[in-house]
Amino acid sequence: MLSKSRTSRAALVLLLVAGGCGHDLRSGGYVLTQNGAPLEDTCHSLAADGSLPVLYLTKTGEEVRIELELFGPEAPVRMIGRFKRSIDGEPDQFSADGSIGEVVIGVDGRSCTVEFGQVHLDATVPEGSDARFEGVLTVREALVPDQDPCPLTCRAEVGYSAEKMR
């Protein structure tokens, strides 16, 4: 027979292991689609057709790791984040952040080098979904100075929907 302290420890371990398993969203590749007009695009760097980069999501318990092909598959932005603790009846939500540097972006048809940038993704998983989420993607970039006629900063913010690739 197990002692009371051993039983309590076993229950605690089981609770900790099972605690991160409540999120139904599946890991894998997701195609992002822009929802409406951009909320902001100071350097006109978003695609005119509304297309957004492919995103690869890996979920481990409460942690989310994302590779976002913002500048193409050869230089993905690596992001890390967490699920928000949900209150009963609330949909699952998560956010992730990453940074970039030394990449070239198109600004009004010109090539400009990003010195440092931040990428933030907020997401809400619709109730009952394991292959879809939506939210806002924000990109802030500080460009290398003295690149006339490039601006010093760029900011893009866009609402999106993400669907799991088959």
* pLDDT tens per residue, range 2-34: 455 444 443 333 333 334 446 899 999 999 999
Q: How far apart are the first and last CA of the chain?
A: 49
- The pLDDT mean for the chain works out to 86
Please report how many Cα atoms fall inside a 13 Å half-sphere around the Cα of residue 71, on the Cβ side: 21
Arithmetic mean of pLDDT, 36-55: 89
Q: What is the pLDDT of residues 88-111, one digit of tens each?
A: 888 999 999 999 999 988 888 889
Question: Rounded to whole angstroms, how far apart are CA atoms 79 and 99?
Answer: 8
Arithmetic mean of pLDDT, 153-160: 96
Residue 13 resides in a domain: no
Residue 45 resides in a domain: yes
Q: What is the structure's pLDDT at 149?
A: 87
Q: Is residue 125 within 8 Å of residue 132, measured between CB atoms?
A: yes
Residue 10 resides in a domain: no
Q: Which of 140, 136, 131 is nearest to 164 (CA)?
A: 131
Question: Rounded to whole angstroms, how far apart are CA atoms 122 and 128?
Answer: 19
Q: What is the pLDDT of residues 135-153, one digit of tens each?
A: 999 999 999 988 888 999 9
Residue 152 resides in a domain: yes
CATH number, domain at 47?
2.40.128
Q: What is the structure's pLDDT at 22?
A: 66
Q: b vs e for 89-107, b when ≥16 Cβ sit within 10 Å of the residue's Cβ?
A: eeebbbbbebebeebebeb
Banded pLDDT at 166 (limits 50, 70, 90): confident
On whether the pTM is more than 0.75, the answer is yes
The three-class DSSP label of residue 151 is coil
Number of domains in the chain: 1
Question: Rounded to whole angstroms, how far apart are CA atoms 52 and 69?
Answer: 9
Residue 67 resides in a domain: yes
Residue 2 resides in a domain: no
Q: Domain range spanning residue 88? A: 24-164
Rounded (5°) CA angle 24-136-158: 140
